[in-house]
Homo-oligomer: A and B are copies of this chain.
Amino acid sequence: MIYLAGLGPGHPRAMTREVRQCLNEVDVIVGYRPYLERIRPVVDSGAVDLEPGDIGQELQRAHTSINHAAAGKDVALVSGGDTGIYGMAAALFEAADRAGGTVPSLRVLPGVSALNAAGARLGAPVGQDFATVSLSDHLTPWETIEDRLYHAGAADFVVVLYNPRSSQRPHLLSRALEILRQHRASGTPVGIVRNAYRDDEEVNVTTLASVPVERVDMVTTLVVGNSRTRQQDSWMYTPRGYGAGTP
């Protein structure tokens, strides 16, 4: 059996009970190296084999998990956050597809994703309909990403940006913000959360015109408000519209 498990954000206190139990009941845990380090405090690593993998090796980790399961082992294939949101769940299905199309016995255990965690740190920025866009053009053509940003802006979605800025493509974040500014005021609140639930967590609320793009990196999540989003003290929130006349 393969368990696709989402570990949640940076600290085990934001992990679900079923994921914690799963990690202690399987034979092998396969995952990106830093995630395996993160779970050491909650896993008896004498009883469970840890198989760390490197970034960019997602399909390989999926194949490794399929092979272990075929040999009769119970495997947890882990992701940070939620395995379904830019995590390993899709990679496992793609790997199974390539390996002949039969999906192995599996169970998906959801987790708290970066959008939930960043939202919590900022207040209630995602109080309304939202769109989530990864700015990584490694797996998606940049034209598709631009198109999605354009439509998300046009429809007044709150926009959550994952993988906002890589060192290889630093200019893409500026371009993305430029697209959103076609439909949104420069004073629109933008929340910036780096390393949520870790010791070096950083939380800032700024505006669409003032995002310090050079300080954003791949462990940062950005939440761009919609036309109704407000800053209040150090918080950011988007009214759902409980007040009469403010739908």
Q: In the complex the two chains form, is A240's CB within 8 Å of B84's CB? A: no
Q: Which parts of A53-91 form the interface with B (CB within 8 Å)? A: 58-59, 82-86, 89-91
Q: In the complex the two chains form, is A85's CB within 8 Å of B116's CB? A: yes
Q: With A108-B123, A154-B151 in contact, is A235–B93 under 8 Å at CB?
A: yes
- In the bound complex, residues from chain B placing their C-beta under 8 Å from that of A232 are 93, 96-97, 101, 103
Q: In the complex the two chains form, is B155's CB within 8 Å of A151's CB? A: yes
Binary contact readout A118-153 vs B (1 if CB under 8 angstroms, 0 otherwise): 011101111111111110000111001101101110
- Identity of the chain B residue whose Cβ is nearest the Cβ of A84 in the assembled complex: B119
A15 to B125, CA, bound (A): 22
Q: In the complex the two chains form, is A121's CB within 8 Å of B97's CB? A: no
Number of A residues near B (Cβ < 8 Å) is 81
Confirm or deny: A241 has a beta carbon within 8 angstroms of a beta carbon on chain B: yes
A139 to B242, CA, bound (A): 7
- In the bound complex, residues from chain B placing their C-beta under 8 Å from that of A97 are 232, 239
Number of identical monomers bound together in the oligomeric complex: 2
Q: Which parts of A1-31 form the interface with B (CB within 8 Å)? A: 4, 6, 8-9, 12-18, 20-21
Q: In the complex the two chains form, is A157's CB within 8 Å of B131's CB? A: yes
- In the bound complex, residues from chain B placing their C-beta under 8 Å from that of A95 are 242
Q: In the complex the two chains form, is B124's CB within 8 Å of A108's CB? A: yes
- In the bound complex, residues from chain B placing their C-beta under 8 Å from that of A4 are 120, 124
Q: With A82-B119, A111-B116, A127-B84 in contact, is A16–B6 under 8 Å at CB?
A: no
Sorted from nearest, which 5 A-B pairs have the closest CB atoms? A90-B127, A89-B124, A151-B155, A84-B119, A108-B120
Q: A103-B123, A139-B240, A144-B156 are in contact. List 17 more A-B contacts (CB 8 A).
A: A15-B17, A82-B116, A84-B116, A84-B119, A84-B120, A85-B119, A86-B127, A89-B120, A89-B237, A101-B232, A108-B123, A112-B112, A112-B116, A130-B131, A131-B132, A140-B247, A151-B154
Write the residues of chain A forming the contact surface with B, with a CB cutoff of 8 angstroms.
4, 6, 8-9, 12-18, 20-21, 58-59, 82-86, 89-98, 101-103, 108-113, 116-117, 119-121, 123-134, 139-141, 144-145, 147-148, 150-152, 154-157, 232-233, 235, 237-243, 247
